[in-house]
Structure 1
Amino acid sequence: MAHFWQSLRSGEWLTPARARGYSLILLGLGAIAVAGWIAMSDGLIDRNGKPVGTDFSNVYAAGELTWQRRPAEAYEPALQHAAEKAVFRGREVPFYGWHYPPFFFAVAFLVAAVPYAWGLSVWLVTSFAAYLAAMRAILPRSETLLIAAAFPAVFVNIGHGQNGFLTAALLGGALHLLDRRPWLAGVLIGLLAYKPQFGVLIPIALLAGGRWSTIGAAVATIVGLLALSFVTLGGGVWHAFMDSMTFTQTVVLEQGNTGWEKIQSIFSAVRMWGGSVHLAYAVQIALAVMLAASLAWLWHSDAAFELKAAGLAVGSLLATPYVLDYDLVVLGIAIAYFARLGLNQGFRACEISLLAAAWIAPLLTRGIAHVTAIPLGLPVLLTLYVFILRRAVLDRASVAIGAQAIAQA
């Protein structure tokens, strides 16, 4: 038993050969599962009566409404559901709400230019390629693409036809370019406005780090997106979006119609455990305040950039009350940055095992929540964030001790 715990602390159990082997196994099982899921579907409807790509159906339906010059109807649940059923020739399918700001109609418009199956394929392939490119840029090692492709959150995202790949690519790309091309990094951050709940902590980090040119580029990009949406879609679509936010907040978030087991936030955990809406908001706000304060300290400090980037990625997932298990693709960005630091400077106790636990967590979150009412992603994210701050403090102390030793020599 002592050897077991020592192995966990040191991380020696996770050899490069095992990392590759585990990744190949999961990649193979995931590919078989996706192929079987498609093979057993009835046309574009799976055996559970849901569209292949589930959530993608709301994107495609919104795109068709945009082609028909009726984009504002995507924010009306009854009209959006009718459009979704029309995609599948009137077959009864579950309702998947359209909750994105009007910026995202650009993507919907493009994917709806081709038949549904092609639109889904193009969407997943291109966004997956962008995610892999960001991961490879962050951690340019031979095994990166394999481990990134086998990351279980990848398969959750594919199953839902969701945008986790795009979110991770934009955030990962922005962090990678922050020092090299700060203006381009700002553009990528501005594009993240399509998912505003993930942008709560980004301005705080950039302000604390004095990244003024990136802030300027991000603001300019958002203003440009606003102007473009008004010119192409009209102001009415923004009124429809604002009106729909009440439905999104009360039905989707507060009442948990999405399914508590899918949501990995502390807000969802409180609601799943029977807490009131007010209590859930209070706990979520308290966590967000602590995250903002600690992240501001981290980005203002002289900590390694890898820790700042990993902290921002994890903090962005924790700060929002509405983070789904497919959004955990963004966790891959944090894992890559933390792994880069450890590979370059050495790992401290338990860090390798924690990164491995974070990597496998998206495979288990939904199943464990069904059985235990514990959203596994939440404690994993909280623990990883604490370890990021811990590493920053320990590294700072090590530097101080080293400097003192040199001064005394």
Structure 2
Amino acid sequence: MAHFWQAIRSGEWLTAARARDYSLILLGICALAAVGWIALSDGLIDRNGKPIGTDFASFYAAGSLVLDGRAGDVYNMAAHYAREQQIFGAAMPYYGWLYPPIFLLVATPLALMPYLPALAVWQIGTFALYLLVIGRIVRRMRGVAIGPVWLPIAAGFPAVFINLGHGQNGLLGAGLFGAALLALSARPVVSGVLFGLLAYKPQFALVVPVALLAAGQWRTVIATGITVMALVGITSLIFGADLWLAFAASTETSRKLLLEQGDVGFEKLQSVFAAVRMWGGGVPLAYAVQGVVSAAVVCGTAWTWRSAGDRDLKAALLVIATLLASPHVLDYDLVILGLAIAFATSAGFAGGFRDYEISLLAAAWIVPLLARGVAGVTGIPLGLLVLLALYVVTLRRAAWDRAAPAVSAHEIAQA
């Protein structure tokens, strides 16, 4: 038993070969399951009576309404649902459109194609972007010959399969977020444009601006603001400014139904807010606890980003904080956690791994596969607990690294 805990502490149990083999096994199982699920489907409808790609049906229906000159109906739930039924059949459940008009710039071109080719382009394109960005992160690892082992680990990350199964946009978000962080030091304006393109997920916008301001990245902040304003202007010209008013009105309904009442399922949400609600806490208490946690992770991240510490470590902390600060984080959103794992691994290879870091990164890799099921059966928010632990360990490492130069300077002075 002592040897077991020593292995967990040191992370020696997770060799590169094991990481590759575990990833390949999971990748193979999920690929076979996906092929079988599609083969058993009836046209566009799977065995559960849902469209293949589930949430992508909402994107496609919204885009098709725009192509018909009915952009104003995108935020009309009855009209949007009627279009989904027209495409997929009257028996399908409703998949709502919850995004700002910015995302119509993506959904509308996809709706020019038949549904299955559009879904394939969406899935393959966003998956390729995610892999490209992860590859860029790991290839920057200093003094490490990483080789091709990163590819099955990144592709086999369970959050990827959850995202692909839902036809969701987490892979796109991970690609844009990671590319923005990679470009930050050398191309701050490009980084700002990429951060601005993430405005289709406004619930993830709490921490990034604070971190950029704390780091004095003014060019990136200005570029982000200009990009967002340009997107608002472009969508207003194309779809009409009233569509933004319709979006603003729709947020109250989505907040009450999906977040506060948990129509989406509290076990699927990976936030502090959802955990409090799942445990029977009221809405005011859930917002209060979420507010405390959000403020804490924002402050910790801002403090870290003010320092001249390891860029990869700061990037990892920002990604984790972005997930923790939002009350509306679904398990497919955890695909951006892959960025944190990659950046934290890079920092570990550069400066050495501390106790439990390797095992915790392994837990973060596997937890999207388990989070929904464990929460549904036991009420334990496993995904949230891993996120909190990873944030604390990463912040602790940042604090140690920040203190190290001061300690070294003191030692030199004493000598």
Give me the TM-score of the superposition, normalised by structure 2: 0.97
* 1:111 alignment counterpart: 110
CA shift, 1:397, in A, is 3.1
- 1:262 match: secondary structure: coil
Aligned with residue 234 of structure 1, among 235, 240, 244: 240
Partner letter of residue 29 of structure 2?
A: L
Residues 1:177 and 2:170 are matched in the alignment: no
Taking the aligned partners of 1:72 and 1:265, their CA distance within structure 2 comes to 32
Moved more, 188-197 or 231-240: 231-240
* 1:30 alignment counterpart: 30
- 2:371 match: secondary structure: helix
Output the aligned Cα RMSD: 1.0
* 2:62 alignment counterpart: 62
- 2:74 match: secondary structure: helix
Aligned with residue 285 of structure 2, among 245, 261, 279: 279
Measured against aligned partners, the alpha-carbon deviations of 1:79-133 in whole angstroms (never above 9, x if no partner) come to 1111111112x33111111010000001110111101111111001001111111
Would you say the 8 A contact 2:307–2:402 is kept in 1? Answer: no
* 1:346 alignment counterpart: 352
CA shift, 1:71, in A, is 1.5
Residues 1:261 and 2:267 are matched in the alignment: yes
Residues 1:166 and 2:172 are matched in the alignment: yes
* 2:328 alignment counterpart: 322
Would you say the 8 A contact 1:75–1:244 is kept in 2? Answer: yes
Would you say the 8 A contact 1:27–1:149 is kept in 2? Answer: yes
Measured against aligned partners, the alpha-carbon deviations of 1:364-403 in whole angstroms (never above 9, x if no partner) come to 0111011111221100100000011110112233333333
Residues 1:130 and 2:129 are matched in the alignment: yes
Partner letter of residue 46 of structure 1?
A: D
Measured against aligned partners, the alpha-carbon deviations of 1:303-322 in whole angstroms (never above 9, x if no partner) come to 21112101110000111110
Measured against aligned partners, the alpha-carbon deviations of 1:33-71 in whole angstroms (never above 9, x if no partner) come to 111111111111111111111100000000000101111
* 2:142 alignment counterpart: none
Would you say the 8 A contact 2:304–2:399 is kept in 1? Answer: no
Taking the aligned partners of 1:9 and 1:402, their CA distance within structure 2 comes to 27
Taking the aligned partners of 2:228 and 2:193, their CA distance within structure 1 comes to 8
Taking the aligned partners of 1:188 and 1:145, their CA distance within structure 2 comes to 24
* 2:301 alignment counterpart: 295
Taking the aligned partners of 2:325 and 2:351, their CA distance within structure 1 comes to 29
Moved more, 5-14 or 286-295: 286-295
* 1:92 alignment counterpart: 91
Would you say the 8 A contact 1:72–1:241 is kept in 2? Answer: no
Aligned with residue 338 of structure 2, among 332, 343, 348: 332
* 2:402 alignment counterpart: 396
- 1:75 match: secondary structure: coil
Taking the aligned partners of 1:238 and 1:70, their CA distance within structure 2 comes to 14
Measured against aligned partners, the alpha-carbon deviations of 1:7-47 in whole angstroms (never above 9, x if no partner) come to 00100000111111111111111111111111111111111
Taking the aligned partners of 1:265 and 1:13, their CA distance within structure 2 comes to 30
Would you say the 8 A contact 1:11–1:353 is kept in 2? Answer: yes
* 1:46 alignment counterpart: 46
Measured against aligned partners, the alpha-carbon deviations of 1:240-277 in whole angstroms (never above 9, x if no partner) come to 11111111111111111111111000101111111111
Taking the aligned partners of 2:328 and 2:364, their CA distance within structure 1 comes to 19
Residues 1:221 and 2:220 are matched in the alignment: no
Residues 1:79 and 2:79 are matched in the alignment: yes
Measured against aligned partners, the alpha-carbon deviations of 1:291-336 in whole angstroms (never above 9, x if no partner) come to 1111110100122111210111000011111000000000000000
* 2:101 alignment counterpart: 102
* 2:143 alignment counterpart: none
Partner letter of residue 105 of structure 1?
A: L
Identity level (%): 55
Taking the aligned partners of 2:371 and 2:32, their CA distance within structure 1 comes to 21
Q: Which runs of 5+ in 1 are unaligned?
A: none
